[in-house]
């Protein structure tokens, strides 16, 4: 259970399958210079999973599905001059369909894993992308027998 003063952030490690290889979704937010995994503040009464789905639908213009939690990270943030604890929860998500443009993000890219590592500035995002990639590989191996499809639907 989180302390009532903890700022909860949900992050979406979203991929789409392109010719059998994942392409990862990255954004540039406002005044941030580097590319990053999309993140959103979790609203009061909202789950972190719901926040990630909401962000990708509203800002990313896509239907997504959460496959599994990829990782967690802690830290602190300053709001109105007060230092508050902050918790990030990263989710591995698959893009099910692209409804339109990612109008809520100033810029976005779909990148291969190796190219993404070169573009991302944040050490935490690099660590979480690696965890998401490993989680995806594990899920694909487990699900090969079950024939679960990670392809987008039209």
- Is the pLDDT assigned to residue 1 strictly greater than 60? no
Best CATH choice for the domain 7-144 from the list 3.10.180.10, 3.90.79.10, 3.40.50.300, 3.90.226.10:
3.90.79.10
pLDDT in tens, 6-60: 889 999 999 999 888 999 999 987 676 789 999 999 998 999 999 999 999 999 9
In the chain, domain spans: 7-144
As a whole number of angstroms, the distance between CA 143 and CA 150 comes to 10
**Three-point CA angle 141, 142, 146, nearest 5°:** 110
User: Which pTM does this prediction carry?
Assistant: 0.87
């Amino acid at each position: 259970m989180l302390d009532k003063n903890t700022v909860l952030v949900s992050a979406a490690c979203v991929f789409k399958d392109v010719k059998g290889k994942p392409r990862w979704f990255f954004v540039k937010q406002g005044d941030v210079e580097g590319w990053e995994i999309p993140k959103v503040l979790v609203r009061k009464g909202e789950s972190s999973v719901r926040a990630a789905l909401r962000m990708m639908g509203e800002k990313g213009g896509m239907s997504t599905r959460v496959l599994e939690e990829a990782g967690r990270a802690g830290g602190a943030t300053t709001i109105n001059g007060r230092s508050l604890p902050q918790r990030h929860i990263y989710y591995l998500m698959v893009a099910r369909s692209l409804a339109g443009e990612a109008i809520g993000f100033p810029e976005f890219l779909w990148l291969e894993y190796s190219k993404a590592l070169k573009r991302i500035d944040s050490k935490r995002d690099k660590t979480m992308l690696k965890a998401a990639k490993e989680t995806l590989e594990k899920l694909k191996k487990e699900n090969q027998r079950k024939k679960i499809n990670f392809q987008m639907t039209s």
